[in-house]
Amino acid sequence: MMSEISIDFWSFILLAGSLQGLLLSFILLSGKTHNYSNIILSAIIWFLVWVQVEFFFVRSISEQLSFDIFYGTRYGSWLLIGPLLLLYSKSFISDKFKIYASYIFHFLPFLIFAITIPLLFSEAIPERGKFYGMLTVIKNTSMGLTPIQNLYGVLFFLQFIHAGIYAFISVKYLTHLKKSKKPFAQQIKIARTQWLKYCCLVFGFVMLSSLLYFYLLFYSNIYKRWMDYLYILPSTGLIYLLAVNAYRKPYLFRDDLKYMLSKKKYAKTPIDTKLSQKYKSQILEYFESEKIYLNPNIRLIDLSEVLSIPKHHLSRVINEHFHCNFNEFVNKYRIEEAKRMMMSKSNKSNFLNIAYAVGFNNKASFNNYFKKFTSMTPKEYQKKTESKK
């Protein structure tokens, strides 16, 4: 016999929010937006979708589902959101973020209480708790709960405290970003700081709404069944707010954040597409024919005067077409020239002479840019090329 499904206005909002979340996660994981921070943010969105779909089925289907583990919040599924938020903060702050095996310790509470125990003990929570929620079980202490069921009654509250603690730790990383001495462009730094502030504040609001819900249920006489939405709708709102920001500020979710911010920067000084392509061709032709990059003192204004291209247009064309600034663009050519020179036997291991010959003023800058563009030191690169001969 098919279960009857009842959908009211608020249920429709939950379903629409879930679909919005799935669409947003697809966008975050597609094309140029693919990076660690977007993968983790997508995982957070999937969690929020899971919670909403769970709430919808519990409220809207007349029969209990046989898949017990589906009732995630009863088992402590919110133990997952805190570690994910922390990893999202780390990945968003650091350009060199990596996933380490030690991170699994952050997820042990979730793996133990929300996955392992429910699979091993089918009666970890009482039947009433699955269908009506753990709060109704906790309020009726005369139900004769087993020790493990009492444990999950306490865990239902602790999972939200756990999430709040992780949110606080994530804010500390926001403070670290302000004090960081890493060479982030100031504009990127400001954008990331504002975004993390926004995420933490909204997540804090979700936690506060849950606390308000618990207070109304336990300590007031005004609780009504519809107030259950105080617990879930803020999560739905969080998905919508993420979607709005993804639309309004797409540069926050891209690998090439610097490039996207440059587009925002030049938004008030538009340039014709055909003219932009013409300038691009001029730049490439001049660099390849005249090798202007070999001049250690070359400046943006010098190139602007030689090519008769306005300085601000020249800077914009390099940013938009080559996804870098003027210095990086010049140094890319210098490193390519250095790689050609290193193939010569007469220049073997004479990296200082090569550095000066291609336009660098010191060996340190040469080594730094060489590793940036090749992921190898000059010596490592030379050994690699020699081994292929």
- Using CA atoms, how far apart are residues 183 and 167, in angstroms rounded to an integer? 26
- Using CA atoms, how far apart are residues 218 and 215, in angstroms rounded to an integer? 5
**Residues making up the chain, counted from first to last:** 389
374-379 long-range contacts, CB within 8 A, separation 24+ = 374/335, 374/339, 378/338, 378/342, 378/351, 378/354, 379/349, 379/351
Across the chain, which has 389 residues, the per-10-residue mean pLDDT values are 62 87 86 72 90 78 52 73 88 77 92 82 63 56 65 78 84 62 52 74 78 73 71 83 77 57 56 83 89 89 87 86 88 91 70 89 89 87 76
- Using CA atoms, how far apart are residues 379 and 351, in angstroms rounded to an integer? 8
Residue with tokens 């899971």: 50
- Using CA atoms, how far apart are residues 246 and 30, in angstroms rounded to an integer? 13
Backbone angles phi, psi at 61, to 5 degrees: -105, 135
Alpha helices (runs of H) in the chain, residue ranges in sequence order: 9-28, 36-60, 72-75, 81-93, 108-109, 117-120, 127-132, 134-139, 147-179, 186-219, 229-248, 257-265, 273-290, 300-307, 311-322, 326-342, 351-357, 363-374, 378-387
Q: Where are the domains of the chain?
A: 9-262, 268-387
pLDDT of 388: 67
pLDDT of 189: 62
Q: Can you state the angle between helices 378-387 and 326-342, rounded to 10 degrees?
A: 40
Mark residue 61 as left, alpha or beta (left: phi above 0; alpha: psi -120 to 50; beta: remaining). beta
**What is the 8-class DSSP label of residue 324?**
S
According to DSSP, the residues that pair with 5 across neighbouring strands are: 61
According to DSSP, the residues that pair with 61 across neighbouring strands are: 5
- CATH fold of 9-262 reads Rhopdopsin 7-helix transmembrane proteins (1.20.1070)
- Using CA atoms, how far apart are residues 259 and 253, in angstroms rounded to an integer? 12
pLDDT of 181: 46
pLDDT of 214: 74
- CATH fold of 268-387 reads Arc Repressor Mutant, subunit A (1.10.10)
